[in-house]
Amino acid sequence: MEGNIEALTGALSLVGYGLGAVGPGIGIGIVAGNAITAMARQPEMQGTIRTTMFLGIALTEALALIGFVLFFIASAG
């Protein structure tokens, strides 16, 4: 049976992005969860912890965002 390769390419990049989003999802969960624990233990450090948390989230999220960009590149190309 002849398949539609064009359609398959787009679907494959979708699957690829889905797989790529798993790791950052777990990572952001760990970062945010530990930040909440830290804030609960030391509420007076809240500002510093929040800043560090967003920096950590930004670094972790970068992987998912690279995946997002690659998804567009792969679907277009």
Partner 1 sequence: MILASECDVANEVICAPANVNELFDFPTIFTIGGFEVSRTEILMILAALVTVAVLYFGLRQQRLVPSKFGAAVEGLVGFVRDDIARSVIGPEGTKYLPYLMSLFFFILMGNIFELTPFINFPVTSRMAIPFFLSLITYVIFMFMGFARNNFRYFTETVWPKAVPIGLRWLVGLIEVFSIFLLRPITLAVRLFANMVAGHLMLTLLLTSGLVFILAIPDIGLKGSIGIFWFALGLFMFLLEILIGVLQAYIFTLLTAIYIDSSIHFEH
Q: Which positions lie near partner 1, rule CB under 8 A?
A: 47, 51, 54-55, 58-59, 61-62, 65-66, 68-69
Q: How far is the CB of 64 from partner 1 (least distance, A)?
A: 9
Using the minimum distance from each CB to partner 1, give the nearer residue, 10 or 33. Answer: 10
Total Cβ atoms within 10 A of residue 62: 11
Instruction: Name which of 65, 39, 63 is nearest 53 in CA terms.
Output: 39
CB of 63 closer than 8 Å to CB of 23: yes
CB of 16 closer than 8 Å to CB of 67: yes
Using the minimum distance from each CB to partner 1, give the nearer residue, 1 or 7. Answer: 7
Using the minimum distance from each CB to partner 1, give the nearer residue, 2 or 77. Answer: 77
